[in-house]
């Protein structure tokens, strides 16, 4: 299969930090289809050789095991080309079309690694010059819009140019190997499905924690915040995969239909429930891994007195027969105690214990990062002679490290998503109605915050967020996973 992969925003951080390294790994692993060309598009005045030299320097910042050798880069970079474009000029799109028409690849993928406000105009220009034919796909990087209205407008314009099957809305969390194993865990094994319901599960916690601050992205982050940056897309996508009903097939639309049902079943927020069930915070100066860390308001490019949240914890419910009454807790934040992304499924305790001493309920921990695996926490007897009629039980864990279980052929999230985009596999991409429903659900939170911008709760960098987040869970008689240790 011949392909042309075009990156709009070819000199941006996303392209050189994530996309190009992912493509290099796909090439190194022999998974990148043959007969491909990669075209970086940007406003800088460069030629192919100049861009390749620039990219080579950038790739030296990758992890040592993922850096190309001189020989590897020479071969990989032969696929890479550069085109200077002003994205507001129709004549530049015509030049792009002429470049693509020189060989007429089997597949053309446009990856919009630009600011979302440029998505409509880029799509309109691509359509105007005929670059929306059946062999074309367009990948839209998140965040897709700033609220429901802007997301709907982007989708309206995209749909006027491309079909739904051509428009791939990316959420790279869906490409993580551990997230792929959510489907395998639930629908490829008989073990958990009978227990995956309100009768057996006490609560589910989804944590997306970052140890870093906003760094050099202060201006972008301050316009976005944790709710838009992580909850509206990543956390809700994970929630749908945990809570969805078994799809009839592995076809993309069958899966996305079930995810949409979950989003539509989420109990809607109002001003009262936002005040009760949502905690927003902002980090202050603190200590992270033994090093002093400044507060959010001291970060570069953050406006003085900003009310942007860097932490969100919320309690939600899914109003259907499987999950009625089971609380779902979502949590994300910057400058937290550690980098950690995981889903914790807390099962209910046994209805009657015959063993002495306190016992804990079973727990399934689905680890997304930095580790990638599953941990099932059970209770067992040591088998020692205690003199008692029954020995007290002790917690034990069954651990599965996916990197050790599958030491070869593992691919990263962006590598997987890029390969799927080239192949036209839609399972891991978000459909427009999913994405708009997610915005519809979070918008009452945004509205409540706009009406009361003074509800931020400070937390010290290097902690797990404001104490109110712990109180949110404790109100139901539960605790966050790290507080139970």
CA distance 157 to 116: 12
Q: Using DSSP, state whether 410 is helix, strand or coil.
A: coil
29 counts as catalytic: no
What tokens does 52 get?
A: 């390749």
CA distance 241 to 153: 27
Residues contacting residue 300 through CB under 8 Å, at least 6 positions apart: 215, 216, 218
Among residues 29, 172, 234, 291, the one annotated as catalytic is 234
| Other CB atoms within 10 A of residue 297 CB | 17
Residue 70: name the closest of 56, 52, 89 by CA: 56
CA distance 286 to 222: 20
**Tokens 């301050």 — which residue?**
222
State the burial class of residue 311 (Cβ atoms within 10 Å of its Cβ: 0-12, 13-18, 19+): buried
**Tokens 């001189």 — which residue?**
70
Indicate the pairing of strand 278-284 with strand 311-316.
antiparallel
DSSP state of 15: I
CA distance 437 to 263: 6
What tokens does 346 get?
A: 């807390």
CA distance 270 to 64: 49
Sequence-separated contacts (24+) of 378-386 with Cβ below 8 Å: none
Residue 472: name the closest of 281, 230, 344 by CA: 281
DSSP state of 430: B
Category of 236 on φ-ψ map: left (φ > 0), alpha (ψ -120 to 50) or beta: alpha
Q: Using DSSP, state whether 196 is helix, strand or coil.
A: coil
Q: Which residues carry out catalysis? A: 234
């Amino acid at each position: 299969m011949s392909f042309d992969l075009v990156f709009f925003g070819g000199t941006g951080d996303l392209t050189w930090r994530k996309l190009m390294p992912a493509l290099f790994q796909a090439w190194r692993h022999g998974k990148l289809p043959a007969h491909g060309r990669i075209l970086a598009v940007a406003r800088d005045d460069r030629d192919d050789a100049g861009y390749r030299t620039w990219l080579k320097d950038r790739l030296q910042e990758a992890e040592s095991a993922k850096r190309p050798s001189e020989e590897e880069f020479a071969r990989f970079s032969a696929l890479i080309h550069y085109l200077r474009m002003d994205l507001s000029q129709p004549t530049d799109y015509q030049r792009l079309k002429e470049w693509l028409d020189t060989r007429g690849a089997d597949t053309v993928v446009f990856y919009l690694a630009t600011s979302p406000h440029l998505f409509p105009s880029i799509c309109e220009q691509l359509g105007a010059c005929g670059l929306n034919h059946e062999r074309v796909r367009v990948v839209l990087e998140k965040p897709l819009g700033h609220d429901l209205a802007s997301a709907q407008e982007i989708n309206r314009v995209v749909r006027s140019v491309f079909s739904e099957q051509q428009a791939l809305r990316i959420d790279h969390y869906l490409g993580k190997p551990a997230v792929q194993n959510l489907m395998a865990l639930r629908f490829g094994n008989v073990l958990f499905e009978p227990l995956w319901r309100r009768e057996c599960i006490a609560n589910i916690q989804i944590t997306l924690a970052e140890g870093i601050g906003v760094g050099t992205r202060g201006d972008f982050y301050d316009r976005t915040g944790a709710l838009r940056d992580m909850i509206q897309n990543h956390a809700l996508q994970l929630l749908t995969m945990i809570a969805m009903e078994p799809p009839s097939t592995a076809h993309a639309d069958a899966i996305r239909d079930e995810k949409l049902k979950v989003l539509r079943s989420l109990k809607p927020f109002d001003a009262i429930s936002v005040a009760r069930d949502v905690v927003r915070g902002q980090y202050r100066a603190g200590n992270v891994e033994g090093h002093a860390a400044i507060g959010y308001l001291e970060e570069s490019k953050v406006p003085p007195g900003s009310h942007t949240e860097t932490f969100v914890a919320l309690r939600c419910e899914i109003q259907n027969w499987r999950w009625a009454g089971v609380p779902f807790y979502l949590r994300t934040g910057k400058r937290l105690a550690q980098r950690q992304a995981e889903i914790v499924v807390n099962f209910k305790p046994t209805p009657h214990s015959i063993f002495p001493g306190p016992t804990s309920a079973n727990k399934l921990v689905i680890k997304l990062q930095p580790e990638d695996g599953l941990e099932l926490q059970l209770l067992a007897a040591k088998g020692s002679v205690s003199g008692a009629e029954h020995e007290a039980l002790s917690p034990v864990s069954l651990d599965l490290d996916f990197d050790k279980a599958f030491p070869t052929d593992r691919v990263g999230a962006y590598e997987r998503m890029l390969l799927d985009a080239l192949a036209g596999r839609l399972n891991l991409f978000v459909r427009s109605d999913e994405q708009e429903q997610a915005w519809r659900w979070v918008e009452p939170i945004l509205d409540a915050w706009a009406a009361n911008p003074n509800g931020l709760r400070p937390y010290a960098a290097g902690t797990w967020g404001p104490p109110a987040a712990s109180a949110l869970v404790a109100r139901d008689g539960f605790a966050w996973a790290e507080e139970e240790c």
